[in-house]
Chain A
Amino acid sequence: MKQIINDKVDLIQEMTQGIEFASNFKLKKVNQSNILITAKPNPTKVSLISGGGSGHEPSHAGFVGDGMLDGAVCGEVFSSPTPFDVFEAIKSVNNTQGVLLIVKNYSGDIMNFTMACDMANEAGIKTDYIVVDDDIAVKDSLYTQGRRGIAGTVLVHKVLGYLAKQGSSLAELKEFGTKLIKHIKTIGIGLHACTLPTTGKASFEVKDDEIEFGCGIHGEPGVKVEKHVSAKEYAQKMLASLDAELKFDTKKEYILLINGFGRTTLLEQYIFTNAVVSQLSAKKIKIVQVKVGNYMTSLDMSGLSLTVLEVFDKQIMTAITSSVDILGNLF
Chain B
Amino acid sequence: MSVTKTLDFSKCFYELVQQNLELLNDLDNAIGDGDHGSNLLKGLEYFKVTHQTKSYTSEAEIWKDLAMSFLAKVGGASGPLYGSAFLAMAKVVGVQNFGEVLVTGSNQIKVLGKSDLNQKTMLDVWIPATSLYQAQKLTVAKIDELVEKTKLIPAIKGRASYLGERALGHIDPGSYSTGLMFKAILQAGL
Question: Chain B 133-152 against A: per-residue CB contact (8 Å), 1 yes, 0 no?
Answer: 00000000000000000000
Q: Is the CB of B75 within 8 A of A203?
A: no
A108 interfacial contact with B, CB 8 Å: yes
Q: Is the CB of A76 within 8 A of B35?
A: yes
Complex-state Cα separation, A115 to B33, whole angstroms: 22
Q: Is the CB of A108 within 8 A of B35?
A: no
Q: Is the CB of B113 within 8 A of A107?
A: yes
B39 interfacial contact with A, CB 8 Å: yes
B132 interfacial contact with A, CB 8 Å: no
A230 interfacial contact with B, CB 8 Å: no
Complex-state Cα separation, A329 to B5, whole angstroms: 57
Shortest Cβ distance from residue A88 to the other chain B in the assembled complex, whole angstroms:
11
**Which residues on A sit within 8 Å (CB–CB) of B74?**
82
**Which residues on A sit within 8 Å (CB–CB) of B164?**
223
**Which residues on B sit within 8 Å (CB–CB) of A78?**
33-35
Which of under 10, 10 to 19, 20 to 34, or 35 or more describes the interface residues of A?
A: 35 or more
What number of A-B contacts does a CB cutoff of 8 Å give? Answer: 108
**What is the predominant secondary structure among interface residues of chain A facing chain B?**
loop
Per a CB cutoff under 8 Å, which of A77, A79, A82, A111 touches B81?
Answer: A111
A91 interfacial contact with B, CB 8 Å: no
Shortest Cβ distance from residue A132 to the other chain B in the assembled complex, whole angstroms:
15
- Near B by CB (< 8 A), chain A positions 75-90 give 75-85
Q: Is the CB of B71 within 8 A of A83?
A: yes
Complex-state Cα separation, A192 to B113, whole angstroms: 31
* Stretch of B49-57, B89-97, B153-161 on the interface side: B153-161
Q: Is the CB of B29 within 8 A of A111?
A: no
- Near B by CB (< 8 A), chain A positions 200-222 give 201, 203, 216, 218-221
A138 interfacial contact with B, CB 8 Å: yes
Apart from A198-B38, A199-B34, list 14 A-B contacts with CB within 8 A.
Answer: A53-B76, A75-B76, A78-B33, A81-B75, A82-B72, A106-B159, A108-B75, A111-B113, A112-B80, A145-B159, A196-B34, A203-B34, A220-B159, A223-B164
13 of the cross-chain contacts (CB-CB < 8 Å) are A53-B75, A75-B75, A79-B75, A82-B71, A108-B76, A108-B77, A108-B79, A144-B157, A198-B38, A199-B34, A203-B33, A219-B34, A221-B163
